[in-house]
Amino acid sequence: MEEELSPEFSINSSFDRNRHIRFLDMMSNLLPSEYQPQEINHLTLAYFTLSSLDILGAFDRVDKEAVARWVLSFQVHPKHQDELSNGEFYGFLGSRSSQFPADINENLRRNSSHLASTYCALAILKIIGHDLSLIDSGSIVRSMRNLQQHDGSYMPIHIGAEADLRFVYCAAAISYMLDDWSGVDKEKAKEYILNCQSYDGGFGLCPGLESHGGATYCALASLRLMGFIEDDLLSKGTSVINIPMLLEWIVQRQTVGGGFQGRLNKPADTCYGFWVGGVLKILGGTKFIDKESLRDSLLTCQSQVSYDQIVHHPGEMKAG
């Protein structure tokens, strides 16, 4: 039996651009209290908000110079060039709460630069048209070498953390945006990515893990950015990855309801409209998407309580 939607959700909903813009405008000025646990990801939330305004053609309301100053204030700079070989990563912090003033205690570890925050910071600067040659890109790229592991994967932060495809993608995207690949051993990264392709054709976050839509996007996007694969892979005769198996796995991620799931036997989730859709775009396989059903599925996840926002599943009251 299909789940009955609440009055705030309707399968016949149309996309109300102006209401979404009002919601994003609110988010760009003051985050609701529910987002307090996400304070450490402040830059990431800003990236989602600003990129959405850009997609909706509403960037005229954004003070680009103020955004640039705010984003650049999160970058951590080494005191001396010699510090670039001390094992730390000098990128961008995710939040003010992860930064200690220098005069508190010299023994405190003040540098908590994060690979994902650095990716989001650079993406925001690209969106607003900031000249990336004006930032200290050399410190970012040179110190990013410290995060690549022996198997080719990347940790997000130099004090130790999980290493998987998410951060390989971040490193690849950072290098691509800065047009400097000296912080990436491409061959080792490629080997790691290929080892993450599972028996069913999809990619797990690490070798041997279950295939996942988000991990598969990170794998293909990284290979594309590094130049190991081309666009429209389905038209190519050979590839470094198993294309037929991947295509079979990825097209099966569209569910009966039209939305995409991230893994087998999981419910559809709006976020996989991007992750799975992005994989099919790189493959040149968007013709295999039932676009009308996907659109209807996404619109049922559009809340119209006060501001329009897209949530993960129909019936949720706010985005996660």
Single-letter amino acid code for the residue at 141: V
Could you please state the CATH topology (level 3) that the domain comprising 16-151 is classified under. Glycosyltransferase (1.50.10)
Alpha carbon dihedral 76, 79, 84, 90, in 10-degree steps, equals: 0
The pLDDT > 90 percentage for the chain reads: 66
Categorize the per-residue pLDDT at 308 as very low, low, confident or very high, splitting at 50, 70 and 90.
low
Mean per-residue pLDDT for 288-309? 85
Assess whether pLDDT exceeds 90 at residue 160.
no
Q: Which range (83-97, 143-157, 262-276, 303-317) has the least confidence?
A: 303-317
Measured between alpha carbons, how far is 105 from 317 in angstroms, rounded to an integer?
43
Tens-digit pLDDT profile for residues 57-81: 999 989 999 999 999 999 988 888 8
Would the pTM count as exceeding 0.85? yes
Residue 9: what pLDDT? 43
pLDDT score, position 239: 87
Report residue 95's pLDDT band, with 50, 70 and 90 as the boundaries: confident
Residue 218 has pLDDT above 90, yes or no: yes
Give me the pLDDT at residue 10, please: 47
Domain ranges within the chain, ordered by starting residue: 16-151, 231-313
- What is the C-alpha to C-alpha distance for residues 241 and 191, in angstroms, rounded to an integer? 11
Percent of the chain whose predicted confidence (pLDDT) is above 70? 88
Residue scoring higher pLDDT (299 or 105): 299
In this structure, the number of other CB atoms found within 10 A of the CB of residue 16 comes to 13
pLDDT confidence bin for 91, thresholds 50/70/90: very high
pLDDT(92) > 90 = yes
Interval 1-6 mean pLDDT: 42
pLDDT tens-digit series, residues 31-40: 777 877 778 8
Tell me the torsion sign for CA atoms 142, 127, 27, 14. negative
| Residue 101 CB coordination number (10 Å) | 8
What's the number of CA atoms in the CB half-sphere (13 Å) around residue 97?
A: 8
Spatial separation of the C-alpha atoms in residues 117 and 93, rounded to whole Å? 6
Per-residue pLDDT, 12: 45
285 pLDDT above the threshold of 80: yes
pLDDT for the residue 214 = 98
What angle do helix axes 115-127 and 165-178 make, rounded to 10 degrees?
40
The pLDDT value recorded for residue 263 is 97
Q: Environment class of residue 53 by beta-carbon count within 10 Å: exposed (0-12), middle (13-18) or buried (19+)?
A: buried
**Distance of alpha carbon 3 from alpha carbon 9, whole angstroms:** 12
Predicted confidence (pLDDT) at residue 202 exceeds the cutoff of 60: yes
* pLDDT reported for residue 6: 44
The distance from CA 319 to its chain's CA centroid, rounded to whole angstroms, is 16
| CB-CB neighbours of 5 under 10 Å | 13
Average pLDDT, the chain: 88
**pLDDT given at position 318:** 56
Alpha-carbon gap, residue 193 to 207, rounded angstroms: 8
